[in-house]
Amino acid sequence: MYRYIISRILLVFPTLIGAAALVFLLMRLVPGDICLVRLGSGGTSFTQQALATCHAEIGIDRPWILQFFDFIWGMARLDFGKSMWSGKPVIMEIATRFPISLEVAIMATIIAVVIAIPLGTISALKQNTWIDLVVRTFSIAGLATPAFWLGIVSILIVLDVTQAVFGHPWMPPIDYVPLWQDPIRNLSIVMLPALTIGYRYAAVSMRMTRSAMLEVLREDYIRTARAKGLVRRLIINRHALKNALLPVVTVIGIEFAFLLGGLVVTEQVFNLNGIGRLMVLSVQNQDYTLTQALVMVVVTIAVLSNLVVDLFYAWLDPRIRLA
């Protein structure tokens, strides 16, 4: 068991280095570079000398092995370097955009939980009735709808409805203010994106809640409680829900980590200045340092959470524990 834990933890490091090598290589294999984008994307012409100066300034004309070493060594010291596009520290670029993404993610989670757990429970209790059917259709539709399409359509609907009703089209404010500064404005910015992502999130959670509840309801101890004559609501709240919640919470936790993927398109649609959009921008600009840093952040979170899950299951599973 301890051998497993130690070797499993030690393996995190080569995994991270492998991921770093992968992103380093992939970005540099893409033709073109940031200097070309910076000088040439306006459609104006530029001199060859300007290009050479830019390369030297940023340092992408050095041999790849040197650049890679800089990257790894920087990561080890938690120094992610400067963004090649703006020259500002990568940490700063990420930090300024982190709050809005986090806020959307948290609000989406709240919406998802608020919708999913009650609806999933009702759906399980009233299995195979028309309520169950409606809820299941609702949740499967949530999994089937492209998030960005939902975003486009919802903006459109809000604009048209407000125009029809108030005669003046309304759109959420574009410039972000933090929640404590102006709660109303802030909430009106994040509400639509949170709903768009939250719908899908709710769909996944709803299905998990339903199936977990169904499993628990079949358990013997529930039947015993019912035979004992306990009130139905008590059964649900005290016994069923509590036990059903464990896998549901696990799924919600895992899904939260994957929210970044959903954020990438949603922030594009709603033009939010968040991490997802930063990733799209850094990839389009071919900003190596920023992209590398972002990918490493995402991969590290994923690798660490996998580690935790693996260790947890290893602890649970006697076959591994005693191996």
Q: Give the nearer residue to another protein in terms of CB position, either 158 or 241.
A: 158
The nearer residue to another protein, 104 or 265, going by C-beta atoms, is 265
* Contact status, residue 286 vs residue 30, Cβ threshold 8 Å: yes
CB-CB neighbours of 78 under 10 Å: 7
Q: How far is the CB of 230 from another protein (least distance, A)?
A: 23
Between the CA atoms of 267, 88, 81 and 177, what dihedral angle is there, to the nearest 10 degrees? -40
DSSP-assigned beta bridge partners for residue 82: 89
Q: Which is nearer to another protein, 84 or 225 (CB)?
A: 84
Token pair listed for 287: 């900003």
Q: Which is nearer to another protein, 14 or 229 (CB)?
A: 14
Tokens of 235: 């059964």
Q: Report the length, in residues, of the chain.
A: 323
**Distance between CA atoms of residues 4 and 10, nearest Å:** 10
CB of 98 vs another protein, minimal distance in Å: 12
Would you say 177 or 230 has its CB closer to another protein? 177
Task: State whether residue 310 is helix, strand or coil.
Answer: helix
CA 59-64-65 angle, to 5 degrees, is 115
Query: At its nearest, how many Å lie between another protein and the CB of residue 240?
Result: 17
Q: What is the closest distance, in whole angstroms, from the C-beta atom of residue 198 to another protein in the complex?
A: 14
The nearest distance, CB 229 to another protein, in angstroms, is 25
